[in-house]
Structure 1
Amino acid sequence: MVLVLFLVRTTFRAIFVCTEIGGRAEYIFRVFRFVVIRDYAGEIPGIMIMKSFIIIAVFFCAAASASEDYCYKDVVEACKTTSKKYTTGLNCTAKYGAIDAVQADLQKYANLHLVRSFEYLLMSTHFANYEKNRPGFEKLFRGLSDDKWSNGIEVIKYIAKRGGEMNFNVVGDDLLQEAEEDRSFELYELSAIARALDNEKRFALEAHHIHSEATRKSKSFHDPEISDYLEKEHVHKDRDLVRKLAGYTTDLSALLNGPDSSLSLFLFDDYLQKQ
């Protein structure tokens, strides 16, 4: 009987070490000795007791392993072999939440920033030539170009931070289907600002779309971290920029309808240069 109790105690310790609550092993063993050994030791052979607890030990260990994360299980499996090929497919990534669901949208969003950055740069150089000579408009569109480039890089960094990867070939259908006249960047002053206003509104709506995808639009996931990132880094800035460009469009339109549009345009360009 002493040998049986020793083996049972050892079995209990193995069970609860596997399930990571080893501090309770001694207590539960005492309960087992009090209830089972006292009442049934004379009726059930010791070998049957040991078989029963070996089965219980296997069950607890299997249950504990099944409840672990994929990364831990993959590492355990990889450690069981000396082959390096098993360590290349580990699920130990930074992905969680809705990043897989919105990754393609974030990629399109980043690429849109980069495309608009080059377009604003072309518009800027158009106003900087000797014929136009609008340094204020040149400064405005160069600033927009720099902002779009920086924002695009930050979106790419965010995708990587959340465990995703960037694909520069993913572009929105509406961008591919833009009319030929929309690809001309030698515009007059009012038309250029109006184009920029439309672009910035689209950026705002794209951010709203990704935000809605990450906030319980689907019942299978909810990612408030993505929503918080979009709100802090893009949504509020888009609001301010849309308001500024809308004001520029309204003011310039009114000035050009005045008695001396050439002088008004010169003064407006000077105003932009001082901003």
Structure 2
Amino acid sequence: MATLAMTYRISLYSKRTDCVLIWSYCDYAGEIPGIMKTFVIFVTLFALAACADECYKDVVAACNPTLSKQLAGIANCNAKYGGIQELQPDLQRFANHLFFRSFDFLLMATHYGNYIKNRPGFEKLFRGLSDSLWSDGIETIKYITTRGGQMNLNNIAKDLQDEELTSPSLELYEMQSIAKALDVEKKLALQAFDLHKSASGKKHESHDPEIAHHLEEEFMEKHRDTIRELAGHSRDLSVLLSGPDASLALYLFDQHLQK
């Protein structure tokens, strides 16, 4: 019986997700037997797939008997993928902007709900806007955490910080308050557009179609309808106040807002 001389050699090279596996099984002539060729291909493909598992590699390293106490090393075992890491600060600022404006609308609602102004229709309008923006802010925080990120309530845009230092009065007349609300909603819509542009762009670090889709579903349609409603209110109120009896027209408009 002929004796086979066999050589066995494994070489594994890994750099992030790129691996090369060489497995040789030779006879006297140095040739790989036919049945082993299929086995070599299978093992090679399996090794290439395994090398792409960053979370798995972290766990293997953390569970090593000599490193069993270093479980903090599984940094890649999270829900982050795509451009969430790059866009997370922008999403945080967007959520904080929503909260700021929610409180502004709440103050405006309180102004119209007191016994002096006594405009329950305007109070209802601005309280509804406040509740809507508050819900949008909570939804944004939930989305950030769903994608593996975390919320930072101190990440506030510079223009908002400057605005808070000036402490602008929100005790406005009816026409002014609707104009203010319209400007606020437009600014929020444009901020959502900027986020969508970053997520839909060609920049690899921030490209994330899932974030773009979320913005479209949760914010853009809602902002469109709110802006249209406020624009209609401003137009109608402008026409009514230009009539012969502005006080009566304003009262009737407030009654209309209560419906």
Matched, 1:158 2:148: no
Structure 2 residue matching 1:107: 3-state secondary structure? helix
1:129 is matched with which residue: 114, 131, 154? 114
Q: Which has the larger radius of gyration?
A: 1
Gaps of 5+ in 1: 16-27, 42-55
Structure 1 residue matching 2:78: 3-state secondary structure? coil
Cross-structure match for 2:71: 87
Query: Counterparts of 1:134 and 1:40 in 2: how far apart (Å)?
Result: 94
Cross-structure match for 2:60: 76
Does the 8 Å contact 1:136/1:273 carry over to 2?
Answer: yes
Cross-structure match for 2:15: none
Offset of 1:152 from its aligned partner? 0.2
Offset of 1:69 from its aligned partner? 2.3
Query: Counterparts of 1:248 and 1:2 in 2: how far apart (Å)?
Result: 97
Identity %: 51
Offset of 1:121 from its aligned partner? 0.7
Query: Counterparts of 1:172 and 1:266 in 2: how far apart (Å)?
Result: 38
Does the 8 Å contact 1:65/1:73 carry over to 2?
Answer: no
Cross-structure match for 1:111: 96
Offset of 1:221 from its aligned partner? 4.5
More strand by share: 2
Q: Which moved more, 1:63-72 or 1:86-95?
A: 63-72
Spell out the pairing of 1:1-275 with structure 2 (5 A cutoff). Answer: 4=4, 36-37=26-27, 39-40=29-30, 64=48, 67-81=51-65, 83-90=67-74, 91-178=76-163, 183-274=168-259
In structure 1, give the amino acid aligned to 2:63. C
Q: Which moved more, 1:210-219 or 1:108-117?
A: 210-219
Query: Counterparts of 1:230 and 1:40 in 2: how far apart (Å)?
Result: 61
Offset of 1:66 from its aligned partner? 7.4
Query: Counterparts of 2:64 and 2:165 in 1: how far apart (Å)?
Result: 60
Does the 8 Å contact 2:84/2:206 carry over to 1?
Answer: no
Query: Counterparts of 1:241 and 1:229 in 2: how far apart (Å)?
Result: 18
Q: Over residues 112-165 of structure 1, what are the superposed CA-to-partner deviations in whole Å (9 max), with x where a residue is unaligned? A: 111111111111010000010000000001111111111100000000000000
Residue 64 to residue 3, structure 1, CA distance change in 2 (3 Å): farther
Offset of 1:181 from its aligned partner? 6.8
Offset of 1:173 from its aligned partner? 1.3
TM-score for both structures, normalised by structure 1:
0.77
Residue 119 to residue 84, structure 1, CA distance change in 2 (3 Å): farther
Cross-structure match for 1:20: none
Q: Over residues 87-126 of structure 1, what are the superposed CA-to-partner deviations in whole Å (9 max), with x where a residue is unaligned? A: 1131101001010111001000000111111111111010
Query: Counterparts of 1:221 and 1:3 in 2: how far apart (Å)?
Result: 61
Residue 179 to residue 164, structure 1, CA distance change in 2 (3 Å): closer
Query: Counterparts of 1:2 and 1:235 in 2: how far apart (Å)?
Result: 77
More helix by share: 1
CA RMSD, 1 decimal:
3.0
Does the 8 Å contact 2:62/2:73 carry over to 1?
Answer: no
Gaps of 5+ in 2: 12-22, 32-39
Aligned residues: 237
Offset of 1:61 from its aligned partner? 10
Q: Which moved more, 1:111-120 or 1:61-70?
A: 61-70
Offset of 1:39 from its aligned partner? 3.6
In structure 2, give the amino acid aligned to 1:69. D
Residue 204 to residue 217, structure 1, CA distance change in 2 (3 Å): farther
